Structure 1
């Protein structure tokens, strides 16, 4: 029983062993075939074949057929060169092969004896190699012409010199044309297989791209759903509660009502931007936006809406916030950096004084957000520090730089240098500005 059980278990393993070996051999042959049919390998094989047939042809014609050495070398070089010409100048290769074969027939006419003639063996092999290259790479007319014209030229060149029976002559011509015909058929089949494989690979690449695009859209839709269900809902609740508090509670002070109105406006503005973001996420491309993106010209409005959340928020501007020299991407990055810096200051330094400075020069936009030490207790918040990372990414996106560091007085400063326009070539700049980075103006006018 035990031996029988071992046999029953071991039989599938022994049966699977040859299948695995055959599968590995098939993969190896497939890889070798793909490499041999690649452009670099084909050129290497063609050059090696050219050298081989040149050596054999230049040595056999004088040794076996009594041809003149110098002329034999010239003809051999011409015939061997047709293999390389077949890669780039196919019709020229066919013409050169026709001339070379006719010259070979004439050179070997006097001393062929009982040897193959008018198409010596090496001549037939060289023609077959050229025809194979043409059949793989070109349409059917070129390989057919490359197979027929050299044989016809050899036949007509040999007729005035032929004195014996026609049996060997006809056999040699028929053999040469048959070999070339078989090579033409085989080469065309290889060429069709290459074309089919290329189309298959193209279709697979298109399918993979479509799959990647579908997965990307699914992920973007999932993020959009999460933002809609969690963030947008939370903002809506904040807006509703802030706007109805004065009606639900009696004797609410006027300053509290004003504060609640600001909270309501901020929540509604955030909801509008959230809806635009959700629309972009649900599009297949983010080129078409449903609402205009904020720019530097919106910074004063942003400052005004922030003033009630801090002791003091001041804005200093040098230049025009709607300067046409500043690209839309840079203008949007300035707004988002200021927005995030203000949010961080209100969150982590309550009661602090905040100064926002923006200077526009012909080449750069300098942004600085400085807050003093907090005067109220800092409430612990949950987060992962994505605000500073987002500002760095905003600056890097337009090939600018951004630094964020505490001040000796206990405050915090964020300084960004952004180019007005994206340069043609990437700017070699890290997240921290180097010593050669341009410096902002020393005084910024109010």
Structure 2
């Protein structure tokens, strides 16, 4: 696209007067200070209340106008100052026309009556209007307004030089100075606002970079510690039937189950590492486990000496497929609850129940006291992240979680999760 020429810019000036800013908010509405936000309307009201009676008195007493035309002209010159708080360019059209009409009807007034064509009250209101324009309109519109003021004032002074005196020069200089000052302050404010926005963006980017670095560090530690040990367990479990002779079939099956569980854990660990190392957090599109995988999970736990049962109500099966977040959360809650049974209550009888009703899915995991003589992998008083993770998942789904010991020495985990089908919002 070609850059506009000087001629194009000059032709654009008159059109800019017909295109006011689309922003109809009050001037300084974005200011964080209440006093600055209140300044334009307060000043506008004050000027109208002050200048209106003064203009009427000056036009009737000094310039010799009758009361009715003097009142109409004074209203046309002052009341639009209230409009200028939100729409300064339309207000300027009204005030400019009223100023020209006042100059025309006061032309025959005696030279000592007052400054012409800019009575003092009219010039004060006009300067306020220039400030409002500078804070709202584009630079082309400001230049066009000042040129209209310049040519109108200079033309009147050239035609009626004896009547004009020095008032035209003062008016032209003051209006130009107010426009230039207001436009400079506005540009400075916009520059500071953009700088603040860039600082916010930079701060967000720094925070994201710190988060990614921390995730990468966690991924490295997980890989160096957990993944390494899980790999060793897998290799030892796979090779045990070949290294140890005379193992009974039950022991060989146990080692096979341990190796399969270790490989499954490694697969999930690799997926987690991929998420931690990815900036977007979704590098792996592999299906996540869900309610359909609970049967295999329960069978795996049974190999660890936990007698577990799974009961899924027909109303739950009728809901499939469940929303992805709900499906995964149910699996993770049951997985963590069963893992706690294995660690803290070896040999305990466990029942996993899934039921649905009243727009919610109820997940219950109840275990009996540990079997006599069973040694817990971890002491019952140890602090881990299992229950914390459950609560976080339930909270994300706007559900409820109830956990605690039972009178007979067992433990109960119960979650109530709202059901949302794909495309629907949570109730």
| Matches of 2:147 and 2:165, distance apart in 1 | 15
| Matches of 1:138 and 1:299, distance apart in 2 | 66
Question: Cα distance 1:127–1:56, how it changes in 2: closer, same or farther (>3 A)?
Answer: same
Give structure 1 stretches of 5+ with no counterpart: 1-33, 428-446
Q: Is the 8 A contact 1:311 1:351 kept in 2?
A: yes
> 1:268 and 2:266 equivalent?
no
1:247, distance to aligned residue in structure 2 (A):
2.3
2:205 aligned partner = 210
1:300 aligned partner = 295
1:61 aligned partner = 55
Question: Cα distance 1:76–1:296, how it changes in 2: closer, same or farther (>3 A)?
Answer: farther
| Matches of 2:290 and 2:111, distance apart in 1 | 90
| Matches of 1:62 and 1:127, distance apart in 2 | 16
Q: How does 1:76-115 map to 2 (within 5 A)?
A: 76-106=74-104, 110=109, 113-115=112-114
| Matches of 2:214 and 2:297, distance apart in 1 | 32
2:9 aligned partner = none
Q: Is the 8 A contact 2:298 2:310 kept in 1?
A: yes
1:137, distance to aligned residue in structure 2 (A):
2.0
* One of 355, 359, 383 as aligned partner of 1:359: 355
1:213, distance to aligned residue in structure 2 (A):
0.8
Q: Secondary structure at the match of 1:354?
A: strand
2:13 aligned partner = none
Q: Which moved more, 1:176-185 or 1:83-92?
A: 83-92
Q: Secondary structure at the match of 1:117?
A: coil
1:395, distance to aligned residue in structure 2 (A):
1.2
Q: Is the 8 A contact 2:302 2:308 kept in 1?
A: yes
| Matches of 2:375 and 2:69, distance apart in 1 | 98
Q: How does 1:293-442 map to 2 (within 5 A)?
A: 293-319=288-314, 320-321=316-317, 323-324=319-320, 326-361=322-357, 363-375=359-371, 376-379=373-376, 381=378, 383-421=382-420
1:130, distance to aligned residue in structure 2 (A):
1.2
Question: Cα distance 1:270–1:89, how it changes in 2: closer, same or farther (>3 A)?
Answer: same
Q: Secondary structure at the match of 1:88?
A: coil
Q: Secondary structure at the match of 1:231?
A: helix
1:274, distance to aligned residue in structure 2 (A):
0.5
Relative to the length of structure 2, the TM-score reads 0.82
Question: Cα distance 1:146–1:416, how it changes in 2: closer, same or farther (>3 A)?
Answer: same
| Matches of 2:165 and 2:89, distance apart in 1 | 27
> 1:127 and 2:123 equivalent?
no
CA deviation map 1:245-284 (0-9, x unaligned): 2222222222122111111111110110000001011111
Q: Is the 8 A contact 1:364 1:420 kept in 2?
A: yes
Question: Cα distance 1:36–1:406, how it changes in 2: closer, same or farther (>3 A)?
Answer: closer
Q: Is the 8 A contact 2:84 2:132 kept in 1?
A: yes
Q: Secondary structure at the match of 1:418?
A: strand
| Matches of 1:416 and 1:426, distance apart in 2 | 16
* One of 165, 168, 191 as aligned partner of 1:173: 168
Q: How does 1:40-55 map to 2 (within 5 A)?
A: 41-55=35-49
Question: Cα distance 1:169–1:426, how it changes in 2: closer, same or farther (>3 A)?
Answer: farther
Question: Cα distance 1:272–1:380, how it changes in 2: closer, same or farther (>3 A)?
Answer: closer
Alignment RMSD: 3.0
Q: Secondary structure at the match of 1:309?
A: coil
Q: How does 1:210-289 map to 2 (within 5 A)?
A: 210-289=205-284
| Matches of 1:356 and 1:106, distance apart in 2 | 94
| Matches of 1:380 and 1:300, distance apart in 2 | 24
- Count of matched residue pairs: 390
Q: How does 1:160-199 map to 2 (within 5 A)?
A: 166-167=161-162, 169-199=164-194
Q: Is the 8 A contact 1:315 1:355 kept in 2?
A: yes
1:289, distance to aligned residue in structure 2 (A):
2.5
Q: Is the 8 A contact 1:148 1:177 kept in 2?
A: no
1:411, distance to aligned residue in structure 2 (A):
0.8
Give structure 2 stretches of 5+ with no counterpart: 1-27
Q: Is the 8 A contact 1:46 1:83 kept in 2?
A: no
Q: Is the 8 A contact 2:88 2:129 kept in 1?
A: no
1:220, distance to aligned residue in structure 2 (A):
0.6
Relative to the length of structure 1, the TM-score reads 0.79
